[in-house]
């Protein structure tokens, strides 16, 4: 159990790291970030900031020397430079290795008895044509690595779309489209002692591949499948000996939940927990990695809705403050690019 005043290292400098650092401060911890990017917003609320390259071994060692425990805020942190840090990392980097490669992730979940969308690894156009023939269209062609928020994805409406596709040298995976009635996520926290707690599963709505809204209570088609989805998510967490917050995204279908992907971190669809749950995902992640008792995950309102603020919409975000039920979070990003998450607003209804 880490005593107050200990230092938590955060790998990555985005809004998730920012909110983790804010939660850590409430529990008496200081945070430092390692984020080789321009103007990392997590750095605004951290006691120190390293902006060196991920593969700068000397800088990484100096960063680790200052930390009592190290975690990450996004799943594309390179695994290789983390080898010397393994004893201080929570979760274990095996979670990163699994989530960073869509093929490894799907095989891992299938071995646990989970059901992802029909898929096939694609290394060349021949593989793609074979995948389309076997799985059919429409489908989605995705990069095996580094894809998020709809990036690195191409929709294949028919075999004709594949004929002119040229992505030589990039490992891909082809997935058949799932006929789903709703999307939802299972967000859990697992402690060092193996204890697991779940937040209520929100109904998630995506627009252009980006999460637009998460809301509770979820429709019946979701709530009826949550128990089964939770069972698989717990198997994932246990198999990885996971510590911290883990998110698994699912499609609710007439045949039951279909696994979409996992995120070994706090998640956008859990932002509502800051105001809408007894303990937020950010606080519980800090509790877990520091060896503290896990907090209650119960939803505190009768209804909760979280809406992302995307791109230029951030310029008018302060207008939300006229609504007494609105809780506004802006992430301090200077540039409002199209499709960039600039903040979120949450509304909690009581009674």
| Chain mean pLDDT for the chain | 95
Contacts for 125 with CB less than 8 Å, ≥ 6 apart? 162, 165, 166
Can you give the pLDDT at residue 167? 66
Residues of the chain with CATH 3.30.470.20: 182-349
> What pLDDT band is residue 32 in, cutting at 50, 70 and 90?
very high
CA dist 319 to 59, 144, 316, Å? 42, 40, 6
Can you give the pLDDT at residue 303? 97
CATH class given for the domain over 7-89: alpha beta
Does the domain at 182-349 match CATH 3.30.470.20? Answer given as yes
pLDDT one-digit tens code per residue, 271-281: 999 999 999 99
52 φ/ψ angles, rounded to the nearest 5 degrees: -75, 165
User: Rounded to an integer, what distance in angstroms lies between the CA atom of residue 230 and that of residue 222?
Assistant: 12
- Maximum distance among all Cα pairs of the chain, rounded to whole angstroms: 61
pTM above 0.85, yes or no: yes
pLDDT one-digit tens code per residue, 122-179: 988 888 889 999 999 999 999 998 766 556 788 888 888 777 677 667 899 999 999 9
Can you give the pLDDT at residue 148? 62
pLDDT exceeding 90 applies to what percent of the chain? 88
150 φ/ψ angles, rounded to the nearest 5 degrees: 80, 0
Of residues 162 and 270, the one with the higher pLDDT is 270
Residue 175 structure tokens: 């997935």
pLDDT one-digit tens code per residue, 108-122: 999 999 999 999 999
Half-sphere exposure of 249 (CA within 13 A, CB side): 23
Can you give the pLDDT at residue 154? 85
* Residue 153, SS3 per DSSP: strand
Can you give the pLDDT at residue 185? 98
Residues of the chain with CATH 3.30.1490.20: 118-176
Residues of the chain with CATH 3.40.50.20: 7-89
pLDDT one-digit tens code per residue, 243-266: 999 999 999 999 999 999 999 999
> What pLDDT band is residue 225 in, cutting at 50, 70 and 90?
very high
Query: In the CATH hierarchy, which fold is given to the domain comprising 118-176?
Result: Dna Ligase; domain 1 (3.30.1490)
Angle between helix 220-239 and 102-111 (nearest 10): 100
> What pLDDT band is residue 206 in, cutting at 50, 70 and 90?
very high
Residue given tokens 């274990």 in the structure block: 92
User: What is the average per-residue pLDDT within 213-234?
Assistant: 98
- Any alpha helices (H) in the chain, and if so which ranges? 15-26, 57-65, 94-99, 102-111, 125-135, 159-163, 220-239, 273-276, 281-289
């Amino acid at each position: 159990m880490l005593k107050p005043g200990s230092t938590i290292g955060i790998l990555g400098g985005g809004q998730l790291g920012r909110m983790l650092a804010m939660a850590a401060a409430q529990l008496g911890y200081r945070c430092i970030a390692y984020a080789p990017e321009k103007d990392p917003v997590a750095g605004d609320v951290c006691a120190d900031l390293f902006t060196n390259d991920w593969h700068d071994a000397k800088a990484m060692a100096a960063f680790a020397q200052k930390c009592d425990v190290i975690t990450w805020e996004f799943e594309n942190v390179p695994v290789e430079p983390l080898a010397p840090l393994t004893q201080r990392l929570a979760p274990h980097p095996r979670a990163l290795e699994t989530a960073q490669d869509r093929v490894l992730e799907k095989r891992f979940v299938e071995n646990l008895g989970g059901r992802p969308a029909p898929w096939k690894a694609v290394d060349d156009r021949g593989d793609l044509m074979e995948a389309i023939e076997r799985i059919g269209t429409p489908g989605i062609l995705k990069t095996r690595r580094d894809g998020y928020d709809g990036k690195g994805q191409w929709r294949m409406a028919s075999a004709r779309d594949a004929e002119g596709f040229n992505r030589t040298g990039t490992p891909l995976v082809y997935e058949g489209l799932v006929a789903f009635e709703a999307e939802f996520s299972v967000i859990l926290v697992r402690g060092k002692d193996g204890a697991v707690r779940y937040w209520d599963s929100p109904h998630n709505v995506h627009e252009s591949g980006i999460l637009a809204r998460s809301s509770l209570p979820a429709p019946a088609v979701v709530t009826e499948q949550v128990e089964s989805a939770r069972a698989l998510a717990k198997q994932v967490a246990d198999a990885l000996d996971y510590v911290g917050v883990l998110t698994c995204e699912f499609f609710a279908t007439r045949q039951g939940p279909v696994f979409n992907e996992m995120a070994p971190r706090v998640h956008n669809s859990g932002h509502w927990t800051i105001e809408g749950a007894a303990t937020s995902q950010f606080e519980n992640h800090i509790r877990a990695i520091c060896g503290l008792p896990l907090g209650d995950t119960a939803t505190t309102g009768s209804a909760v809705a979280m809406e992302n603020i995307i791109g230029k919409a951030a310029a008018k975000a302060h207008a939300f403050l006229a609504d007494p039920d609105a809780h506004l979070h802006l992430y301090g990003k200077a540039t409002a690019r199209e499709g960039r998450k600039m903040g979120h607003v949450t509304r909690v209804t009581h009674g």
